[in-house]
Structure 1
Amino acid sequence: MRRITYIIPVVVLGVAVLLSSVFVVDERQRALVLQFGQIRQVIEEPGLNFKIPFIQEVVYYDDRILSLDTAPIEVTPSDDRRLVVDAFARFRIMDVVQFRQAVGAGGIRAGEERLEGILNPTIRAVLGADGVTSNTILSSERSRLMDQITAEARLRAAALGLEVLDVRLKQTNLPIQNLEATFARMRAEREREATDERARGEEAAQRVRAQADRTVVELVSDARREAEIIRGEADAERNGIFANAFGQDQEFFEFYRSMTAYERALMQRNSTMVISPDSEFFEYLGGSGLAVPAPAR
């Protein structure tokens, strides 16, 4: 019974020691075995591994491709037009020993801070170089600039045991204090262009209206001229016909002319004529037996 009392604690202690000496590294990780802060073993292959319990500790590092979003920073291209840019980088831990020595116990968070401290100056230096304007940054040459940033950041990050795979600019904006001035200038330019377009349109409309008015005047004038010519020719032809017809019978012509004069003179219902009854005007009425109206008072 006493043996069992001693055996159980020994077994439990043995199991605890065994469990504390065993650790697993999966395929997404690499590990360092540290003893009193010093690196004793580098494990880069996944599997089951052992360490000295209570003396050694294991630090795990991600072996996958990691990403880092940088904070927005201001850059000043060669045309002195300030821009606010932010970027993201993809990187991986290339050498865990060198990374541990560079960042210490801070781990991946400290490594990201050190990497951001490399990326921001590199972005400022590349985008602020001679010949790089804001239009260059916003044009198709942007890819070339990002490749240059990646290459320079890769060289500097190698001292941290990191491999920078890619750096890309996410957004390129104007500083807040410059937005209103820029928008006001853009609005003024658009309004000026709109005013110019309206002025050109009004000028073109005036030309069209003037040409149309001129065409109308010419057409009406031509039409009236042709109408007067036709009317004159018709009157001449009519007069010729009348002259030819009336010339054949002079008495009938005088009778027709008198009848026409009567019709025109007495056309209105309230017509009043002051004339002598024995006037030549009533020549054809007096001999026809028709009653001649009494002279008006």
Structure 2
Amino acid sequence: MQDIWDNHRGSIIAVAAAIIAFFSSAYVVSEEEQAVIIRTGQPVGTVNTPGGKTGAGLYLRIPFVDSVQTIEKRLLDLEMNEEEVLSNDQQRLLVDAYARFRIVDPVRMVERAGNTDGVRTALEPILNSVLRQELGRRTFEAMLTAERGTALANVRTKLDRQAKQYGAEIIDVQIKRTDLPSGAPLDSAFQRMETDRQREARTIRAQGDRDARIIRAEADAQASKIYAAAFGKDPGFYDFYRAMQSYDATFATREGGPQNNLILSPDNEYLRQFRGQR
């Protein structure tokens, strides 16, 4: 047995050393990650980066010389929790916002920020500042309309410009919640909003009444024109028609009203049309 060990000792040691060297140099990069190879403190290569020539899989490095830093390839969140912002109409707003970003240049990220937490630390005050600027140009009510989308698009553009220097790309910026602080300011804002809506409703009603009067006047004028044109073709019929209207108004029995008693001579001119005379 000793002879066998002596004869194969060199081979066994070589195989063991090869196994140790392989495990020391081999590393795996998953589909959800990208990697930067760092040698003597400097990035010297990348694996599975967006648009890169290599993909996920098993790779080798120089043992004890190269280190591998893996970086998330999926979207990452940047949170801004309940920051106070002053709107254009001097309302103090409590804003919960977030941005989604991804690392597109891992080498620059390693050089400028170190890791993704460093990117978040660098971008949080920028997001805060840009959001304050955009919301400060708009009223609280404007943030409840489509103008909110324009403001967030501007925030994304400005934040993305700053994020590029850290190897990141801003995908989206959204506001989760925009509220007024509780208490008197909130009640005052609601009361002012209610007053504005009531004023707007009164304006709409006034415009509706004006339009209705115009329509009725135009309709009456058109009706008079039609009647005049029709009765002008037969003055006798017009005289008969007007007499019938007068009889109806004079002799009609009104429920609950006083009864009218008229004593007229049979040959009275008023009853001429009643007698069938024209």
Q: Which secondary structure does the structure 2 equivalent of 1:72 belong to?
A: strand
Aligned with 1:119 (options 108, 111, 127): 127
Q: Deviations over 1:81-132 (max 9, x none)?
A: 110111121111111111111112xx21221222222211110111113xx1
- Which is higher, the Rg of structure 1 or of structure 2? 1
* Whole-angstrom CA distance in 2 between matches of 1:118 and 1:188: 33
SS in structure 2 of the partner of residue 159 of structure 1: helix
The structure 1 residue matched to 2:157, chosen from 141, 145, 151, is 151
TM-score, normalization by structure 2? 0.62
Find 1:16's aligned residue among 12, 16, 20: 20
Partner of 2:68: 58
**Residue aligning to 2:44:** 40
Query: One-letter code of the match for 2:165?
Result: A
Which AA in structure 1 matches 2:187?
Answer: F
Q: 2:89 aligns with which of 71, 79, 93?
A: 79
Offset of residue 175 of structure 1: 2.2
- The separation in 1 between residues aligned to 2:144 and 2:86, in whole angstroms, is 14
CA contact (8 A) 1:69 1:89 kept: yes
C-alpha distance after superposition, 1:32-77 (max 9, x if no partner):
1111211121223223221101111101111222222222211111
Q: Name 2:6's counterpart in structure 1.
A: 2
Does 2:107 correspond to 1:97?
yes
Query: Equivalents in 1 of 2:72, 2:140: separation in Å?
Result: 38
Which structure 2 residues correspond to residues 168-183 of structure 1 after superposition, within 5 A?
168-176=174-182, 179-183=183-187
Structure number with higher helix proportion? 1
Residue 185 of structure 1 deviates from its aligned partner by: 7.4
> Structure 1 residues 185 and 60, CA, compared in 2 at 3 Å: closer, same or farther?
closer
Is contact 1:75-1:83 (8 Å) kept? yes
Unaligned runs of 5+ in 1: 191-218, 223-297
* Whole-Å separation in 2 of the counterparts to 1:157 and 1:189: 38
Identity %: 30
TM-score (norm 1): 0.58
Give the RMSD, CA atoms, in angstroms: 2.9
Q: Tell me, what secondary structure is at the counterpart of 1:30?
A: strand
Give the aligned partner of residue 243 of structure 1: none
Gaps of 5+ in 2: 49-53, 195-255, 259-278
Cα distance, 1:134 vs structure 2: 1.2
Counterpart CA distance in 2 for 1:97 and 1:17 is: 27
Number of residue pairs matched by the alignment: 193
The whole-number CA distance in structure 2 between the counterparts of 1:189 and 1:28 is 48
